[in-house]
A and B are shown apart, each in its own frame.
Chain A
Amino acid sequence: MSASANRMRGGMAALPFIAPAALFFSVFVLWPIADSIWVSLHDWDGIHRMRWVGLGNYTELFGDDVFYTALVNNIWWLLSYMLAPVFGLAMALFLNQSIAGMRLYKSLFFFPFVISQVVVGLVFSWFFNGDFGLLNLGLHAIGLHGVSLLGNANWATPSVIVAGLWPQTAYCMILYLTGLTAVNGEIVEAARMDGARGWNMLWNIIIPQLRPATFIAVVVSVVGALRSFDLVSIMTKGGPYDSSAVLAYYMYEQTFLSFRYGYGAAIAVVLFAIMDIYIAIFLVIMLRQERR
């Protein structure tokens, strides 16, 4: 359905349709991006006048240990979130059967994604609680020592990531379940005739056909990992002593708890720059598909 000749012509005719959305989007998304970059070049506490510091905030940021902790944690989030498509696929394969009640099972498995991250965070804080959490109860039962995961600098980030993977895996699972319904049955049967089985079949026949689902699953997982604010805010507030901070949370903390708006904006700009890489990749792939 490439560019058909009889589509309506003219940007002017399209303007009244696009203008309202474009206006809102410009005011609340585009202009703020520019303004944040501007603020990041200043020292500002929200009370006194803004004071121009040029790249001062960035120089300080690149010498700030917490910034690197947050950056490294962000990378851990990103890498760990790549497990969501893997687990999601595994669950989808497990559930891709047509027996009575399967629909209900699928929706119950999907359930965690529908719930707010605030609730997910509360549920897991509690699950992980070193004093009375269900997890530690289990560990004790099998004779292991309990740990207070969220109060421990080494365990806090992995624990929060586990909480995040729960809804994220559900999300990927649904993408793959939908993808599996579109898998070409004839090709699968033909491959079976040729003796393809199990892993071999999955790797060579199924996964290539699931490429669109994988693409979306990876994209949403990357975005989810970089947006990891809610769970950190609910479960650890970046603690203990910044060990579980991520850029999104550190930015919030510097802005609203330390009242360093310029510094906060500089952190946001760095996060934005990282995200831009993914946005660019996504756009290139998207637009290339369009052209085809």
Chain B
Amino acid sequence: MFPRPIQTASPGARALYRVALPVSLIIWLLPLLAIFLTSARTAQDLAQGNYWGWPHGTNLFGNYAAVFTSSPMGRYLLNSIEITLPAVAGTLVLSTLAGFGLAKFRFRASSFVLAIFIAGNFVPFQILMIPVRDLMIHVFPLYNTIWALIVFHSAFQTGFCTLFMRNFMREIPDSLLEAARMDGAGSFRIFWLIVLPLVRPALAALAVLEFTFIWNDYFWALVLVQSDSARPITAGLQALQGMWLASWQLMSAGAIVAATPSVVVFFLMQRHFISGLTLGSVKE
């Protein structure tokens, strides 16, 4: 193990480590702690310029309630859910199928197709912006609906997810599939009955990862939707900056509300999240 386990260090070093750990964590999360504390402040405190001094009373609950009653935050939150869940599902369906096609069939263009998926996953969004927006306005009338985001995210995230699924599926022994084939099962039966149950961990990892990616998207929300009825929470929060003037207590409460779902998903499904994120960084 490296570095050397702290248990083998001198008592002084051990004590130092025990202190350094929480202190460094607090410094690391200081910006976040600051907005959390602000989300509990009263408007009067902030209006008087008392941003960091001892608060004259708190209004934690009131501020969070105000976020939902005085703004379309509830709507944004719902939109984000309505966008993220179908988009994750869509991208998983597309990429699981494609991953299987690329992992378990031999054909000449196979690496080429894979290379395209990988390359596409890295392109800067700006090169897609004008045409994708045009497509959503003029070809598929989805512009300014949650569907524009669902469809686009499903399509774009497919690049990364296909690579992920394909790599995972290559680890499934071919003999397993061959045996089923001998029994006369078609490709789809094999996919459904043998492959799918085996890739469940990969699906879970991808689902969690994609949830945070899509939930946190801001750029496409800015480009593809314009009204409150379709805006996800990231773009919504930005739009509220103007409305809440200098009401920092609401702004920070809103920011915390926007961050919470992906944080909760992360903490609940941490293992999957990290195994998805670190794919390829351990094995050579």
Do A and B touch (CB < 8 Å)? yes
A residues with CB within 8 A of B: 1, 3-4, 6-11, 13-18, 20-22, 24-25, 27-33, 35-36, 39, 93-94, 96-99, 105, 107-109, 111-112, 114-119, 122-124, 126-127, 132, 134, 137, 166, 171, 174-175, 178-183, 185, 188, 201-202, 205-206, 211-213, 215-217, 223, 226-227, 229-230, 233-234, 247-248, 251-252, 255, 261, 264-265, 267-269, 271-272, 275, 278-279, 282-283, 286-287, 289-290
Q: Residue on B with the closest CB to A255?
A: B130
Kindly state the separation between the CA atoms of A79 and B158 in the bound complex, as whole angstroms: 29
CB contact under 8 A between A9 and B135, given known A108-B29, A119-B237, A275-B122? no
Q: 18 extra interchain contacts, Cβ-Cβ under 8 A, other than A39-B130, A265-B130?
A: A17-B105, A18-B101, A21-B98, A30-B116, A36-B130, A99-B6, A99-B7, A118-B234, A122-B251, A123-B35, A126-B31, A137-B52, A213-B282, A229-B126, A230-B219, A268-B124, A268-B126, A272-B126
Q: Is the CB of A116 within 8 A of B218?
A: yes
CB contact under 8 A between A10 and B106, given known A20-B97, A114-B263? yes
Contacts of A227 in B (CB 8 A): 124-125
B residues with CB within 8 A of A: 1-3, 5-7, 17, 21, 24-25, 28-32, 34-35, 38, 49, 51-52, 93-95, 97-98, 100-102, 104-111, 113, 115-120, 122-132, 134-135, 151-152, 154-156, 158-159, 162, 170-171, 174-175, 177-178, 181, 187-188, 191, 212, 215-216, 218-219, 222, 234-235, 237-238, 241, 248, 251-252, 255, 258-259, 262-263, 266-267, 270, 274, 277-278, 280-284
30 contacts between A and B (CB under 8 A): A4-B174, A10-B106, A10-B107, A14-B107, A16-B101, A20-B93, A21-B97, A24-B158, A36-B130, A97-B3, A111-B263, A114-B266, A116-B259, A118-B258, A119-B258, A119-B259, A126-B248, A134-B34, A179-B281, A181-B282, A205-B2, A216-B281, A229-B126, A248-B125, A251-B129, A265-B130, A271-B124, A275-B124, A279-B122, A289-B284
